[in-house]
Structure 1
Amino acid sequence: MEGKKMTEKESLELITQMIQNSKKNLRLGNVNVLLLWGYLCAITALVVYVLILITGNPLWNWLWLAIPVIGFPVMHWLKKKEDKPVLTYTDKVLLAIWSNIGQYGIGISIIAAFYFDSMLLLLPIILLLCSLGVNITGSIINDSWMRNAAGCALAISVVMISHILFNPPELNFMYPAFAVCFIIMLIIPGHRLNRRHTKE
């Protein structure tokens, strides 16, 4: 038996519902995923920056490991407190995208730390990966702020890489730039989604 064909209006309603569901599933209790990772990345960047400025010791870069060490257990704890959401196709796509970005980010970090013994390219490459993820996420959930912010962060990551290639090895300005990018890419959109959710 042939399935019932959807009208154009029903198709649009279904797509809108899937987008709204994906926005809702970005939340874990009163905190959403964007805020969790945004604050972790921005605060870690600023703490590492200040400690290196004070001590002149680049070993403080090992504090970057605090991001996955704190982030993944907190996410797991928040998910345990929540009812298991119904995942739509868009949710599964977002999950696959960010899983891959996370794996590549961790892999690049390990290579930079142990093989090259340098953090020089780590910040712009991580920023490049995350800005692509945020841009795709913004496109999927129809959030223009996220798309535009990701575009700015992408441009900043390219400037960072150019600076490294042509004006090495000054790195200090990259830490605050990295923090600012995560504020505009994840923290501001996270608070906007929370405010919109509260209104709804």
Structure 2
Amino acid sequence: MEEKKLTERESLELISQMIRSTRENMEVGSGNQFLAWGYFSTLLSVLLFVLVTSTGNNVWALGWFAMFAFWGILKFVQRGRKTPVVTYIDRVVIQVWQVIGALFILTVLVIVALTFVYGRGDFSLMLPLALLYCGIGTSITGIVIKEAWATYSPLAAFVFAIYMLASYTIGEAHVLHWYLYFGLSFVFMMIVPGHIINRKAKQICSKN
């Protein structure tokens, strides 16, 4: 059977439809990862800052590993939801974040390995690295779905991440303050674009 060739206009219409579908799938109630991660990360950073500051005990810093538990909870919840139509663009976004997730796991494993080899490790580096990883993932997602806010809002996170790493290398790192920088970064990087994507997705749904 002869394969039908799409015209340039038809191709553009198909791509636009896929982008609209992806935005609809990101709507709250359909699994908006930006808002879920944005609010959780911001609240966690403030909570851990308060706990460490008020108690003077850095053991509360282990609470950052709650992000891995939250990731598992989200996966479990999503399995029980009705799966929307998955477009090619949806798969691209999913695969981008799978790579980002692999970077998180790989970073933890490397730091753990260094701790065993050299007898000490510094997990505080996870904070600026996490901002870089999530920022890159958010920007790529914004490019894929053609959302400027998601594309450029991670620049705020990049600034904080670069500041953290630079201050660390010159021995002027104030790690406890990093907690608040981390939370503020997620406000700009995920909460703001998440709400904007939701609003646009609802507008698209109301027109259909």
Q: Check whether TM > 0.5.
A: yes
Alignment of 1:37-186 (within 5 A): 37-80=37-80, 82-112=81-111, 115=115, 116-186=120-190
Point out where structure 2 has 5 or more consecutive residues left out of the alignment.
none
Deviation at 1:119, TM superposition (A): 2.7
SS of residue in 2 equivalent to 1:120: helix
List per-residue Cα deviations over 1:146-177 (Å, max 9, x = no partner).
11111221232111100110133421221111
Deviation at 1:93, TM superposition (A): 1.3
Deviation at 1:124, TM superposition (A): 0.3
Point out where structure 1 has 5 or more consecutive residues left out of the alignment.
none
Does structure 2 retain, via aligned residues, the 8 Å contact 1:32–1:190? yes
Alpha-carbon distance change, 134 to 35 in structure 1, aligned in 2, over 3 angstroms: same
Distance 1:85 1:30 in 2: 8
Alignment of 1:3-14 (within 5 A): 3-14=3-14
Deviation at 1:186, TM superposition (A): 0.9
Does structure 1 retain, via aligned residues, the 8 Å contact 2:27–2:201? no
Does structure 2 retain, via aligned residues, the 8 Å contact 1:22–1:90? yes
User: Which aligned segments of 4 or more residues in structure 1 are displaced greater than 4 angstroms?
Assistant: none
SS of residue in 1 equivalent to 2:89: helix
Task: Please provide the CA RMSD for this pair.
Answer: 1.9
Amino acid at match of 2:148: S
Give the fraction of aligned pairs with identical amino acids, expressed as a percent: 32
Deviation at 1:6, TM superposition (A): 1.3
Alignment length, in residue pairs? 199
Distance 2:72 2:25 in 1: 17
> Structure 1 length normalisation: TM-score?
0.90
Alpha-carbon distance change, 112 to 39 in structure 1, aligned in 2, over 3 angstroms: farther
> Structure 2 length normalisation: TM-score?
0.87
Does structure 2 retain, via aligned residues, the 8 Å contact 1:36–1:71? no
Alpha-carbon distance change, 30 to 2 in structure 1, aligned in 2, over 3 angstroms: closer
Distance 1:28 1:83 in 2: 13
Distance 2:69 2:199 in 1: 29
Amino acid at match of 1:47: L
Distance 1:166 1:134 in 2: 29
